[in-house]
């Protein structure tokens, strides 16, 4: 081992003990990414998650309810200015049908994700959320529908939603401005995250690894934000280019670095629920399993109707299994078992 690795390992060990570092130390840990460092971080993350979750992996059914979006995020395939996107939205009955399919195969969390689609007013969403709550009382309902007002988040919480995923995307304001149109700001995003927490949701933030203009410094700020915000969930996946966006020529994010960051996040906030994202599986066939071995403990199989899965194209070559969800679940269970973990039928709330 060289001197450089020794220094990085010492900082990872400090992070394991204390759960925090300075931004400058985080930058050094990121800059010190190597096979040796990644292996050590994964070993520490393994011990950490085992103490809390043993070898269990939680599964959530992802339902992509709409690919209409009023926003124009430069990285995203469903941005409003992409005229090639084939737009769709699901009706309440279709969403309930997806939940029914998922329930039958053992899913106890439903994640409703979509673009910021004005069609889904508070009234429409309250109706959908309360119907799911009534029909599936033992399930958790997670929403991932972007920025909404405090009152809107509150109405949806009161209707029965439990969790909300809203990635912060980057904790650096200037970087944020390079990824988004001027209508979206980091300050607004953080306000939404604070509101969600205040209301009582289990809240998830997160970011893409390898997004254009990302640096070790911006990543260090992401880790600091996670350390301070202590999200219940954290979505980390590689950036993957989409042909019809201004970022079509940028390279996809690195799988190894993504896994390294997952391990570090496990050490920063041990009980966090960390998904092995679809984007990881898209960039590498073993990406999701590698993520679990690095500290992730959640998988989100797709429950959307087969006919719309390709249309929810945030990035090119998105993994969309051609199989029915039941078969997909069996495959996931077997894969997870093959690396020594087990999928459980449970809501899978954060253990605090």
Residues in the interface with ligand SAM (CB under 6 A) total 19
C-alpha separations of 71 from 74, 77, 123, 235, 279 in Å: 9, 11, 21, 20, 21
Q: Which CB atom, from 26 or from 75, has the smaller least distance to ligand SAM?
A: 75
Q: Which CB atom, from 167 or from 284, has the smaller least distance to ligand SAM?
A: 167
Window 158 to 177, contacts with ligand SAM (CB under 6 A): 166-167, 169
* Min separation Cβ 138 and ligand SAM, Å: 25
Output the six-digit token pair for 267. 């050490």
For 80, phi then psi, to 5°, come to -65, -30
Question: Which of 225, 150, 230 lies closest to 188 in space, CA to CA?
Answer: 150
The DSSP output letter for 26 is: H
Is residue 219 within a helix (H) or strand (E), and if so which, with residue range? helix 216-229
Q: Which stretch binds ligand SAM (CB under 6 A): 35-43, 80-88, 139-147, 171-179?
A: 139-147
* Min separation Cβ 36 and ligand SAM, Å: 28
Asked if 71 and 115 count as a contact pair (C-beta separation under 8 A), the reply is yes
d(CA 326, CA 196): 33
* Min separation Cβ 115 and ligand SAM, Å: 5
d(CA 248, CA 80): 16
If one asks whether residue 38 binds ligand SAM (CB under 6 A), the answer comes out as no
Question: Which positions ≥6 away from 212 have C-beta within 8 Å?
Answer: 74, 75, 178, 179, 239, 247, 250
d(CA 41, CA 28): 14
Of 61, 115, 204, 270, which lies in the binding site for ligand SAM, with binding defined by CB under 6 A?
115
For 45, phi then psi, to 5°, come to -65, -35
Q: Which CB atom, from 37 or from 129, has the smaller least distance to ligand SAM?
A: 129
Residues in contact with ligand SAM, shown as a per-residue x/- string from 66 to 105 under the rule CB under 6 A: ---------xx-----------------------------
Output the six-digit token pair for 158. 């009161």
Window 236 to 275, contacts with ligand SAM (CB under 6 A): 237, 239-240, 242
Of 203, 220, 279, 292, which lies in the binding site for ligand SAM, with binding defined by CB under 6 A?
279
Window 285 to 324, contacts with ligand SAM (CB under 6 A): 314-315
Q: Which CB atom, from 242 or from 309, has the smaller least distance to ligand SAM?
A: 242
If one asks whether residue 201 binds ligand SAM (CB under 6 A), the answer comes out as no
The footprint of ligand SAM (CB under 6 A) covers: 75-76, 113, 115-116, 144-146, 166-167, 169, 208, 237, 239-240, 242, 279, 314-315
């Amino acid at each position: 081992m060289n001197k450089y690795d020794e220094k990085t390992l010492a900082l990872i060990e400090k992070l394991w003990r204390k759960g925090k570092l300075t931004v400058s130390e985080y930058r050094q840990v990121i800059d010190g990414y190597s096979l040796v460092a990644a292996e050590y971080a994964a070993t520490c993350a393994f011990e950490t998650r085992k103490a809390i979750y043993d070898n269990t992996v939680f599964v959530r059914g992802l339902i992509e309810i709409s690919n209409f979006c009023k926003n124009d995020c430069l990285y995203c395939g469903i941005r409003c200015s992409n005229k090639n996107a084939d737009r769709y939205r699901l009706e309440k009955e279709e969403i309930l049908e997806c939940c029914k399919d998922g329930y039958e195969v053992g899913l106890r969390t439903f994640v409703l994700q979509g673009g910021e689609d004005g069609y889904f007013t508070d009234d429409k969403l309250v109706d959908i959320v309360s119907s799911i709550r009534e029909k599936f009382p033992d399930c958790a309902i997670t929403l991932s529908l972007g920025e909404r007002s405090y009152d809107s988040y509150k109405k949806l919480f009161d209707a029965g939603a439990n969790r909300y995923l809203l990635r912060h995307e980057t904790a650096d304001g200037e970087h944020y401005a390079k990824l988004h149109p001027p209508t979206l700001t980091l300050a607004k995003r953080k306000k939404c995250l604070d509101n969600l927490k205040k209301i009582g949701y289990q809240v998830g933030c997160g970011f893409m690894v390898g997004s254009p203009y990302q640096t070790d410094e911006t990543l260090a700020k992401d880790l600091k934000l996670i350390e301070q915000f202590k999200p219940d969930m954290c979505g980390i996946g590689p950036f993957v280019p989409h042909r019809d966006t201004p970022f079509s020529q940028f390279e996809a994010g690195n799988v190894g670095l993504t896994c390294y960051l997952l391990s570090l996040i496990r050490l920063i906030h041990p009980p966090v629920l960390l998904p092995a994202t679809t984007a990881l599986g898209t960039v590498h066939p073993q990406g999701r399993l590698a993520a679990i071995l690095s500290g992730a403990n959640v998988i989100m199989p797709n429950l959307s109707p087969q006919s719309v899965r390709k249309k929810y194209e945030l990035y090119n070559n998105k993994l969309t299994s051609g199989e029915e969800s039941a078969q997909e679940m069996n495959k996931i269970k077997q894969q997870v078992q093959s690396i020594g973990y087990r999928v459980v039928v449970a809501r899978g709330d954060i253990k605090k």
